[in-house]
Amino acid sequence: MWDFETEPQFQAELDWVRKFVTEEVEPVDAILGHPAEVDNPLRRALLPPLQAVVKERGLWACHLSPELGGQGFGQLKLALLNEILGSSRCAPTVFGCQAPDSGNTEILAMFGTEEQKQRYLQPLIAGEISSCFSLTEPRGGADPTSITATGELVDGRWHLNGEKWFASNARFAEFIIAVVVTDPDAAAHRRSSMFLIPRGTPGLEIVRNVATAGQPDGDGSHAHLRFADLTLPPEAMLGERGAAFQIAQARLGGGRIHHAMRTVGAARRAFEMMCERAQSRQTKGVRLSELQFTQQAIADSWLELEQFRLLVLRTAWKIDHVGDYAAVRGDISAVKAAMPRVLHDIASRALQIHGSLGASDELPLTRYVLESYQMGLADGPTEVHKIALARQILKKVPGSEAAFPDYLTSSVRAAARERFAEQLAGAPEVQPWG
């Protein structure tokens, strides 16, 4: 059965979430620093009470199964929830589904040992700590087969050496999940393993914290890391040796679709700002909303937002029905490829309609524009996902060895004449269209 309606009971929950985020969470956005900084006294004063309300409501960490303390929502429900949370910087943390922690909880639950779950997973699910996922390297880019950081087993202990780049939330993290090469002679996708590195481990160095454009100098949350003979026991490995690529795929499929869900919320916020400004601002005696250029910007933005939202929802629905991220890989790539452009274009139009106010830090529009470029790089660049999408599409399309395609107009017409020869007999000659 196909339906575009949300069941009334869940819609009531969504209505509560929207009101709660608007009235209780967005004011916190205006005064709090990075929501992953668990040790910040202001953060400890403001976020846990809101998190307690969410837990009491039964909406905490909804992406996790009930046995892990979540609600076990399918991706479609998560999409409807996350598009609301995406309008607020702190809302994902308040609801226990912030990146990269959400993905890290999933792979710890799937591949962690009981000891690892006790030490890392439980406090992470409870929102008591933050975590980091570190894959990218200064020279490696988006290719996981080009990793150069190494892990060597010497006298029963792993010795890690190398550098990592753009490690999200490393400065706040209680532990880092890092991918390093442990089997250099193995097949390309079996060379690397994952390790859990506790905060303060000797040999773990944050070279510097890198800010993205729009962040205050020195306030960056993406770290340049260095492993200098960082030593770990065997039980620090997450999952099987050489299985890092497979584990990462289990993590990234959900992460990509969840990023897209939240992007719907950010793009909608920019769109709503654009519409309100158009109805409020006048120039040369007329409202901006009466100018055709503004009307075109609003119409284009609405079309792009609704089309993208439907693509996200349909992809979420397909994941729920198939139950396998790999089987929906092409759809996830399509969502990932479309996401940066949608946010960029809508935020850019909103910025233009707000004039100098839009270019200032009084509004989040410049941040949205800059974040769109980051979205086009994180979890695989847009170009890689377009290639993946094209390959998934072409796998289902057979080629032809004929000199001319069977959809050639003359071939189609000849086949039709043969099929309808009886009806055409004695009929007046008519020149067909097209």
Over residues 92-100, the mean pLDDT reads 95
Over residues 159-173, the mean pLDDT reads 95
Predicted pLDDT at 214: 63
Whether 225 has a pLDDT exceeding 90, the answer reads yes
**pLDDT: which is higher, 249 or 270:** 270
Triad 129, 132, 135: Cα angle to 5°: 165
Predicted pLDDT at 5: 87
Whether 250 has a pLDDT exceeding 80, the answer reads no
C-alpha 236/C-alpha 160 separation (Å) is: 12
Predicted pLDDT at 217: 63
Amino acid at 414: A
Predicted pLDDT at 434: 58
Q: How many CB atoms lie within 10 A of CB 50?
A: 19
Over residues 203-219, the mean pLDDT reads 81
Positive/negative CA dihedral, 32, 35, 36, 42? positive
Phi (first) and psi of residue 104, to 5 degrees: -65, -35
CA 176 to chain centre: 19
Over residues 80-90, the mean pLDDT reads 95
Following DSSP, what letter does each residue of 252-267 receive, concatenated?
HHHHHHHHHHHHHHHH
C-alpha 242/C-alpha 183 separation (Å) is: 7
Q: Are 271 and 350 in contact (CB under 8 A)?
A: yes
Single pTM value for the model: 0.90
Q: What band does 221 get if pLDDT is binned at 50, 70 and 90?
A: confident
C-alpha 163/C-alpha 138 separation (Å) is: 7
Burial of 422 (0-12, 13-18, 19+ CB in 10 A): exposed
**pLDDT: which is higher, 212 or 236:** 236
Q: Which residues make Cβ contacts (< 8 Å) with residue 102, sequence separation at least 6?
A: 61, 63, 92, 96, 254, 255, 258
Following DSSP, what letter does each residue of 279-313 receive, concatenated?
HH-EETTEEGGGSHHHHHHHHHHHHHHHHHHHHHH
Predicted pLDDT at 423: 87
Measured distance between the N- and C-terminal CA atoms of the chain, rounded to whole angstroms: 37
Q: Are 176 and 227 in contact (CB under 8 A)?
A: no
Q: What average pLDDT does the structure give for the chain? A: 93
pLDDT digits (tens, 9 = 90+) for 318-368: 999 998 888 899 999 999 999 999 999 999 999 999 999 999 989 999 999
Helix (H, G, I), strand (E, B) or coil at 318: helix
Radius of gyration of the chain from its Cα atoms, rounded to whole angstroms: 26
Q: Which residues make Cβ contacts (< 8 Å) with residue 403, sequence separation at least 6?
A: none
Q: What band does 2 get if pLDDT is binned at 50, 70 and 90?
A: low
**pLDDT: which is higher, 32 or 143:** 32
Q: Domain spanning 246-395 has what CATH number?
A: 1.20.140.10
The fold adopted by the segment(s) 131-238 is Butyryl-CoA Dehydrogenase, subunit A; domain 2 (2.40.110)
C-alpha 56/C-alpha 59 separation (Å) is: 8
Helix (H, G, I), strand (E, B) or coil at 87: coil
Over residues 5-27, the mean pLDDT reads 96
Predicted pLDDT at 141: 66
**High-pLDDT (> 70) share of the chain, %:** 97
Predicted pLDDT at 218: 62
Q: What band does 278 get if pLDDT is binned at 50, 70 and 90?
A: very high
Predicted pLDDT at 323: 86
Predicted pLDDT at 308: 97
Over residues 400-424, the mean pLDDT reads 90
C-alpha 70/C-alpha 61 separation (Å) is: 5
Predicted pLDDT at 146: 87
Domain boundaries, given as residue ranges, for the chain: 8-112, 131-238, 246-395
Element (H, E) at 238: strand 237-238
Whether 1 has a pLDDT exceeding 60, the answer reads no
**pLDDT: which is higher, 214 or 350:** 350
Give the least confident one: 194-208, 297-311, 319-333: 319-333
Torsion of CA 326, 329, 331, 333, to 10 degrees: 150
Q: What band does 213 get if pLDDT is binned at 50, 70 and 90?
A: low
Q: Write the class of the CATH domain 8-112.
A: mainly alpha
**pLDDT: which is higher, 50 or 33:** 50
Over residues 62-68, the mean pLDDT reads 91
C-alpha 309/C-alpha 83 separation (Å) is: 9
Beta bridge partners of 194: 179, 238
C-alpha 266/C-alpha 364 separation (Å) is: 9
Burial of 160 (0-12, 13-18, 19+ CB in 10 A): buried
Beta bridge partners of 226: 163, 205
